[in-house]
Amino acid sequence: MHDDDIANIMRALGHPVRLSILRFLASQQQRECCCGDVTESLPLAQSTVSQHIKVLLDAGLIERKPHGTRNRYMIRQDRLAELGTAFGGLIEGLNLRAPHKEAEPA
């Protein structure tokens, strides 16, 4: 993953409402979970929620599955794992690069 991608995803995660949406989806994942459900769980207008959902979609963090007149959303676990790896790599890379001592015991 490139820095731009990481930054993109981070920005998508950089809003409390979007975190709430993800958490809500996670808690409901087994069931149907449409935009209306998410909207009900938040003090925001439907259009606003839809907009946030779009951001998460564009970041590839969730997935849309049309289902009749409503859309079912679910978290993309694969991407989440990918992100976890990338983020771990980022943190790792930000660690002290040149150990001024012996490396920590493995």
Question: Applying CB under 7 A, which residues contact DNA?
Answer: 11, 14-15, 17, 34-37, 43-48, 50-55, 64, 66, 68-71
> Of 58 and 81, which has the nearer Cβ to DNA?
58
The CB-of-52 to a copy of itself minimum distance in angstroms stands at 12
- The listed partner (DNA, a copy of itself, none) that binds 54, CB under 5 to 8 Å by sort, is DNA
Three-state SS annotation for the chain: CCHHHHHHHHHHHCCHHHHHHHHHHHHHCCCCCCHHHHHHCCCCCHHHHHHHHHHHHHCCCEEEEEECCEEEEEECHHHHHHHHHHHHHHHHHHCCCCCCCCCCCC
- Partner touching 101 among DNA, a copy of itself, none, CB below 5 to 8 Å by kind: none
Smallest gap, in angstroms, from Cβ of residue 44 to DNA? 4
